[in-house]
Amino acid sequence: MKTAMKHNDMFYLVKAAQKRIEGHAHKTPVMTSRTLSQLTGAEIFLKCENFQRMGAFKFRGAYNAMSRLTADQKSRGVITHSSGNHAQAVALVGRLLGIKTIVVMPDDAPVIKRTATEAYGASVIGYDPGETSREKVSQDLANRHGYTLVPPYDHMDIVAGQGTAALELFDELNSLDSLMVPCGGGGLLSGCAVAARTMAPNCRVIGIEPKSADDAAKSFHSGILHTVTNPPTIADGTRTPSLGKITFPLVLEYVADMKTVSENAIIEAVKFLFYRMKLVVEPSGALGVAALLSGEIKPRGRAGIILSGGNIDGATMKTILDS
CA proximity to 258, closest of 237, 288, 281, 293: 288
Q: How many CB atoms lie within 10 A of CB 4?
A: 8
Our answer to whether residue 58 is catalytic in this structure is: yes
Q: For a second copy, which residue of 23, 72, 144, 322 counts as binding (CB under 8 A)?
A: 322
Q: Is 88 in the site for a second copy (CB under 8 A)?
A: no
Query: Residue 314: is it exposed, middle or buried by C-beta count within 10 angstroms (0-12/13-18/19+)?
Result: exposed
Please report how close the Cβ of residue 311 comes to a second copy at its closest, in angstroms: 8
Rounded-to-integer distance, Cα 203 and Cα 174, Å: 11
Taking CB under 8 A as the rule, does residue 23 contact a second copy?
A: no
Name the minimum Å distance from CB 24 to a second copy. Answer: 11
Nearest to 149 by CA among 161, 138, 136, 160: 138
Q: Does 317 bind a second copy (CB under 8 A)?
A: yes
Residues between 47 and 66 that touch a second copy (CB under 8 A)? 50-51, 53, 55
Of 102, 123, 53, nearest to 310 (Cα)? Answer: 53
Exposed, middle or buried: residue 278 (CB in 10 Å: 0-12, 13-18, 19+)? exposed
Enclosing H/E stretch for 204: strand 204-210
| DSSP 8-state assignment for residue 36 | H
Judged by CB under 8 A, does residue 173 bind a second copy?
A: no
Binding flag, residue 301, a second copy (CB under 8 A): no
Judged by CB under 8 A, how many residues of this single chain contact a second copy?
20
Q: Binding a second copy by CB under 8 A: which of 183, 266, 281, 297?
A: 281
- Span of 61-69, 89-97, 178-186, 310-318 interacting with a second copy by CB under 8 A: 310-318
172 binds a second copy (CB under 8 A): no
CA-nearest of 317, 199, 185, 308 to 251 is: 185
93 binds a second copy per the rule CB under 8 A: no
Q: Is 310 in the site for a second copy (CB under 8 A)?
A: yes
Amino acid of residue 18 = Q
Least gap, CB of 261 to a second copy (angstroms): 21
Active-site residue, selected from the candidate residues 33, 47, 58, 190: 58
Catalytic residue, from 138, 212, 242, 308: name it.
308
Residues near a second copy (CB under 8 A) are 29, 31, 34, 50-51, 53, 55, 274-275, 277-281, 310, 314, 317-318, 321-322
Catalytic residues, which ones? 58, 308
